[in-house]
Chains A and B, each alone.
Chain A
């Protein structure tokens, strides 16, 4: 009994999140929906939703997923609306799909969400203004590091060349691999 009471709020939550689902059901204008709803439990595996997979729809789905994957879920932390099962995310996913279906480009859809939620909604910052730093800096660091390493290596190599020519006979007659293996063996004993 007490457990029942404890779960009551939850059932209520469930109850009122229901309308959203219902609306979306009606809102779905995919041609196969009505037919599919009439079907009764098929015995074999057939795709009752195959109408949804006609190439154009599949393409739209793919594009919608692409856009949704780059939009941040406002009510979760650090998830895209594609991955989140929060009601709001799911509705936003529908918005994405509808806007794409209406002929908007992915950029326009993103711009719509940015206009409402701010740049925060984009999981990948727009490459302009200060955001360029986050794109350019890694490349710069890598290049500078590479140049530095190259100069160092060259310097060291020329130092080493002098040393070698000054008389070290090198590793003698055994192969380099042998020598290395031997060293390891000696050290670790």
Chain B
């Protein structure tokens, strides 16, 4: 309601920059009002509001009521709109003193994107519709979405990521429109992009975690179309984060970078389209009519405009590339991009392949985890390898001696990792390769840090911890990036281990009976039932033994919601740093609870996925932190660097600890 027709002022062209800026603030204020109004309506159970009537219920606990704002279509679009307007206002505010020609264009593009969402909200998807007669109660949100507190984290993070990618997109289009095609658009959006990327990464990891803790199938990533929809823009955004560095340094890859970021934005739209149009079967599909065609029309508009202006600006985009040598940091970035794009292509192909086959010959096929795992493992391993090679390669060119110096220790560490893996008992080829590269990457990252610290100590004459802090604040982008890399390595290793070495057993136990699985013993104690406010829970109690010692109880359950026919299982997980014991209640004796069927899974290394995710977030936070202005200015540091004896940095082979 309040949102109507506000976006207008936002889209004005350059001459009206001031108006546009205040327009952006106003849109944000209006969206916030709408958002707060909706939250109040939800929390006060005002069932005269159509959205509340659909997702609210008196029985739902307040926390889940508050977050049910994004549990259904209209609310999630409202939330999307709020975030978009917040980004818009923030961009306007940060650049309020900017003289750049880019900003008004970018603001205009953001306003245009906003127009689409606000338009949806005020017409097709108005969550504030009136309901008469006013119902006394509502059905409550989708049971899956009120089953775990992570629902408060995972969707907002994804939205912040998705919507945040609008900013670099808007600046890219702004660059194309204004013809200002140098590196400015990249520089001015660098931190926006990293922040959006970080949100997206955290959102994806949180989503995997949620899936693991809630869906009860024992895994964390199912290559569901909607999961893929969040993964695809992540892949291209990651490629973009790397390839812009080439353009910043060498002025190359202009068209490529524009294409990447626009493709990323399109993939976020595509992801939303997949979720909302019901075009592919998915656990998450909302399948709600009209919005599909509208989204598709918007995608079409963006796609065609993009291709058209790229063609229009093609003469200005031509930038002859030069390289000093084929083996260099530049080429490792290009290879990285190639792999990321091939990865994106493959996931996109797999996701839409059923649709293509059906369009061609009417057959229905499925493309599921076995396919995706098969294709992603080799690509992932190659990327992992590059992650080790890239940062250790200098820009421009290198010499065999330097190569040897840079890679000797990492190669040794890599080989040691394989040996370690082998000794511990790993015999499968892919995990062993993964260990090798992981050790290699970790060693190069450590070396990079050591080099940085050593240089810093020599320049500023400070102690090692101080030097570490200083390189992290002065050159936060680079070292933050390495921290992110380390987090990714942790995740990849955890994926390799948990994917290969999990084992499971499904058994029907009588009361008091136990079974063994690896080091664990599980005894079935009882079945119990409990009527909770919003659901009916049938639970089971199992006593868990580890190497014969009682270590606790696990209570996997099945939850029955009034608005769902199938019970929603809640697994019970016992986590240690080494592995998870994951219990799911599959079936139980409905008459007197004398027996229960459980699926017990030992999932090694899974907690490291979440730890890795946190490391990634930490690194990303480091990388986006504003430059510290206090302390010694960086320039003088640089001057000192110049005055220093030009010593070779890696004089002594660093003692690498992994």
Contact = CB atoms under 8 A, between A and B. Distances in A.
Task: Judge A-B direct contact (beta carbons within 8 Å).
Answer: yes
Interface in A13-49: 13-15, 17-18, 21, 25, 28, 36-37, 39-42, 44-49
Interface residues of B, number: 103
A112 interface: no
A185 interface: yes
A184 interface: yes
B646 A174 contact: yes
Contact of B345 (A18, A69, A138): A138
Nearest to A65: B504
A49 B514 CA distance: 7
A130 B361 contact: yes
Interface string B387-421: 00000001110100010000000000000000000
Contacts of A124: 367-368, 370-371, 374
Nearest to B338: A145
A138 B321 CA distance: 27
Given A45-B516, A76-B283, A145-B341, A52 B507 contact: yes
B182 interface: no
A17 to B, nearest CB: 8
Main secondary structure of the interface of B (DSSP, over half): mixed
A134 B367 contact: yes
A48 B505 contact: no
Which of B339, B360, B396 is packed against the most chain A CB atoms within 10 Å?
B396
Given A130-B361, A189-B638, A164 B455 contact: no
Given A77-B282, A134-B371, A163-B322, A153 B512 contact: no
Contacts of B218: 83
B357 A72 contact: no
B507 A182 contact: no
Contacts of A159: 320-323
B479 to A, nearest CB: 10
Given A41-B512, A134-B367, A185-B641, A160 B548 contact: no
B474 A185 contact: yes
Contact of A78 (B281, B360, B590): B281
A122 B365 contact: yes
B650 to A, nearest CB: 8
Contact of B370 (A45, A123, A152): A123
Contact of A40 (B349, B512, B516, B523): B512
Interface in A45-72: 45-50, 52-53, 61, 65, 69-70, 72
Nearest to A87: B587
Interface residues of A, number: 88
Contacts of B367: 123-125, 134
B272 interface: no
Interface string A146-163: 100100111111011101
A54 B367 CA distance: 35
Which of A45, A134, A138, A153 is packed against the most chain B CB atoms within 10 Å?
A45
Contacts of A121: 366
A188 B635 CA distance: 9
A182 B350 CA distance: 44
B324 A7 contact: no
Contacts of B637: 185
A41 B357 CA distance: 55
Contacts of B365: 119-120, 122, 125, 131
Given A48-B515, A152-B321, A85 B586 contact: yes
Nearest to A79: B217
Contact of A138 (B369, B375, B474, B565): B375
Contact of A153 (B326, B353, B374, B402): B326
Contacts of A161: 324
A32 B627 CA distance: 68
Interface of A: 3, 6-7, 10, 13-15, 17-18, 21, 25, 28, 36-37, 39-42, 44-50, 52-53, 61, 65, 69-70, 72, 76-80, 83-86, 90, 118-125, 130-131, 133-134, 137-138, 141-142, 145-146, 149, 152-157, 159-161, 163-164, 170-171, 173-178, 180-182, 184-186, 188-189
20 contacts: A41-B513, A45-B523, A47-B521, A48-B515, A78-B282, A78-B283, A78-B368, A119-B363, A120-B366, A121-B366, A131-B365, A141-B345, A142-B342, A145-B342, A149-B338, A153-B331, A159-B322, A176-B394, A177-B394, A182-B638
